[in-house]
């Protein structure tokens, strides 16, 4: 008899649907004191199927209340990914009285024996997303040739006083502009000879990000790339840093930049309409991978989102990197912190701390590393373990989840996930471990590594051990919830 129930592996800090299937975050928008998260949802099964928009709201992006389904399939098709904006000045004409929300999404029509058709459509809500009216003249945007034409992300572009849409067109991103959200004009197409083309391009997002420590900003274009069965990585997200003039995006680099070194962060986009005085660009992704998403061993529900993360841009010489750190709202979910003094870890003197906690976060700074390697257990039960190995000879950080618990649902799940970086220099590691995930942020978010795990018990301890030498943990803060 199966001992699984709806609670098995359920996260404490991450959004997961009450029941059945979820994939991409959609329509993330802040309006009247609430963060809205819509999501790709099949309410009738726990595998991908006819898509709806599920809906949840939150005051802090950590605790979510799931509401009724927002958008159901109709004659034009099922409801694929898209975005939502606040139409503050009634440009659409949908809101004669007060500003409301407009959702811009893909209608996906797949009739038997026919090639699928993807078109962009609108729905609007005057009651904070509780009910939606589909625009009677849908679809508002079609493509003459592209079969893959989906995932519109719309934003208000101040300099040109227009709405701008980034939408995936096969293996490129196309930009359109509009004055009223209903009529769209083609502006440009980006990406044919840029970036990775390992798979179909999906779920773009375009936004301006300030450069840390400078009075300057650049534009960032996120592009998720679908699974390619020939590669080990599965689905993943790349990004470009450049400029955008309201018509055309111009990247300022030729190299490929990946948003996450882990396997389980896909189709992420950022919130719209976070108030300017807040000034944050907040992002979250779908914490799964198309390679095995339909097979992960949860019962009655499938998939969860990453933690919401603040994005910023870091400049090193001529290169720019998107850095990501969990939002500050997370801190209030930890009521107890242990601060370690300087701890020296050597071959015969590992560091160990009993935890017995459903979730925890740690913040470590390592210095004076002369060990050949060292390891931190990120999740440890009596017989299951997820370990971060730091190999100072190869300058590699490796996450090993091969013994983490249930792993046999996909041969791809046990492959190590790696980050290449100078491991003998000062290394700052922050990690958040929940019941079925690990999110690692390295050097103040310069690298992120997001990974699902399926241990059958809560985490019992945290340990740090070294091989052939010592390391110094010069700062160590371990935070747990109250009992």
Binder to ligand FRU among 21, 38, 80, 175 (CB under 6 A)?
Answer: 80
Which residues carry out catalysis? Answer: 24
Chain residues 252-311 in contact with ligand FRU, contact rule CB under 6 A: 267
In angstroms, give the least distance from the CB of 267 to ligand FRU.
4
Pick 40 or 298: Cβ nearer ligand FRU: 40
Chain residues 192-221 in contact with ligand FRU, contact rule CB under 6 A: 202-203
Pick 23 or 466: Cβ nearer ligand FRU: 23
Whose CA is closest to 121, among 68, 75, 158, 188? 75
In angstroms, give the least distance from the CB of 104 to ligand FRU.
12
Binder to ligand FRU among 151, 187, 205, 329 (CB under 6 A)?
Answer: 151
Pick 181 or 203: Cβ nearer ligand FRU: 203
Pick 153 or 218: Cβ nearer ligand FRU: 153
Measure the CA–CA gap between 308 and 382, rounded to whole angstroms: 30
In angstroms, give the least distance from the CB of 191 to ligand FRU.
15
In angstroms, give the least distance from the CB of 52 to ligand FRU.
10
Binder to ligand FRU among 81, 91, 237, 270 (CB under 6 A)?
Answer: 81
Using CB under 6 A as the binding rule, whether residue 379 contacts ligand FRU is answered as: no
Q: From residue 19 to residue 38, what is the string marking binding to ligand FRU with x (rule CB under 6 A)?
A: ----xx--------------
* # residues contacting ligand FRU (CB under 6 A): 12
Binder to ligand FRU among 51, 70, 173, 194 (CB under 6 A)?
Answer: 51
Assigned token pair, 91: 């440009």
Binder to ligand FRU among 8, 20, 40, 196 (CB under 6 A)?
Answer: 40
Binder to ligand FRU among 55, 143, 150, 291 (CB under 6 A)?
Answer: 150
Measure the CA–CA gap between 26 and 460, rounded to whole angstroms: 35
Measure the CA–CA gap between 98 and 87, rounded to whole angstroms: 9
CA-based end-to-end distance of the chain: 31
In angstroms, give the least distance from the CB of 105 to ligand FRU.
8
Pick 51 or 433: Cβ nearer ligand FRU: 51
In angstroms, give the least distance from the CB of 93 to ligand FRU.
27
Pick 202 or 434: Cβ nearer ligand FRU: 202
Pick 200 or 274: Cβ nearer ligand FRU: 200
In angstroms, give the least distance from the CB of 200 to ligand FRU.
8
Measure the CA–CA gap between 324 and 442, rounded to whole angstroms: 9
Binder to ligand FRU among 106, 237, 375, 436 (CB under 6 A)?
Answer: 106
Q: Per-residue b/e over 49-78, b at no fewer than 16 CB within 10 Å? A: ebbbbbbbbbeebbebebeeebbeeeeebb
Whose CA is closest to 23, among 4, 42, 1, 45? 42
Q: Which residues bind ligand FRU (CB under 6 A)?
A: 23-24, 40, 51, 80-81, 106, 150-151, 202-203, 267
């Amino acid at each position: 008899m199966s001992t699984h129930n709806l609670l098995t592996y359920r996260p404490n800090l991450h959004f997961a649907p009450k029941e059945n299937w979820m994939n991409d975050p959609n329509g993330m928008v802040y309006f009247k004191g609430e963060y809205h998260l819509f999501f790709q949802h099949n309410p009738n099964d726990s595998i991908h199927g006819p898509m709806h928009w599920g809906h949840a709201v939150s005051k802090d992006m950590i605790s979510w209340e799931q509401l009724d389904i927002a958008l159901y399939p109709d004659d034009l098709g099922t409801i694929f990914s898209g975005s939502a904006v606040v139409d503050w000045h009634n440009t659409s004409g949908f809101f004669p009285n007060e500003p409301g929300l407009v959702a811009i999404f893909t209608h996906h029509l797949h009739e038997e024996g026919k090639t699928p058709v993807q078109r962009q459509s609108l729905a609007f809500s005057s009651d904070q997303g509780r009910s939606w009216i589909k625009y009677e003249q849908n679809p508002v945007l079609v493509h003459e040739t592209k079969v893959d034409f989906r995932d519109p992300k719309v934003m208000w572009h101040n300099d040109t006083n227009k709405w701008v849409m980034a939408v995936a067109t096969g293996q490129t991103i196309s930009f359109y502009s509009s004055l009223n959200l209903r009529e769209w004009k083609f502006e440009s197409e980006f990406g044919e000879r840029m970036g990775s083309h390992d798979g179909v391009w999906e779920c773009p997002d375009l936004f301006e990000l300030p450069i840390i420590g400078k009075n300057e900003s650049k534009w960032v274009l996120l592009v998720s790339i679908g699974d390619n069965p020939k590669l080990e990585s599965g689905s993943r997200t790349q990004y470009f840093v450049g400029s955008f003039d309201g018509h055309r995006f111009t990247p300022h680099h030729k190299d490929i930049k990946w948003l996450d070194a882990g396997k389980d962060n896909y189709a992420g986009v950022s919130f719209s309409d976070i108030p300017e005085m807040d000034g944050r660009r907040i992002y979250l992704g779908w914490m799964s991978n198309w390679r095995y998403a339909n097979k992960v061993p949860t019962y009655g529900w499938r998939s969860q989102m990453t933690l919401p993360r603040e994005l910023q841009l870091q400049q090193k010489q001529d290169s720019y990197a998107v850095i990501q750190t969990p939002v500050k709202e997370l801190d209030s979910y930890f009521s107890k912190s242990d601060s370690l003094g300087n701890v020296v870890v050597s071959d015969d003197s590992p560091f160990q701390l009993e935890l017995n906690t459903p979730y925890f976060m740690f913040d470590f700074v390592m210095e004076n590393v002369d060990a050949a390697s060292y390891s931190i257990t990120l999740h440890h039960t009596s017989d299951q373990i997820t370990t971060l190995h730091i190999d100072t000879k190869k300058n590699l950080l490796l996450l090993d989840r091969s013994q983490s618990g249930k792993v046999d649902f996909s041969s791809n799940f046990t492959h190590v996930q790696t980050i290449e970086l100078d491991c003998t220099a000062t290394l700052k590691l922050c990690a958040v471990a929940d019941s079925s995930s690990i999110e690692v942020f390295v050097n103040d978010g310069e690298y992120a590594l997001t990974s699902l795990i399926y241990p059958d018990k809560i985490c019992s301890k945290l340990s740090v051990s070294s091989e052939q030498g010592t390391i110094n943990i010069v700062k160590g803060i371990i935070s747990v919830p109250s009992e």
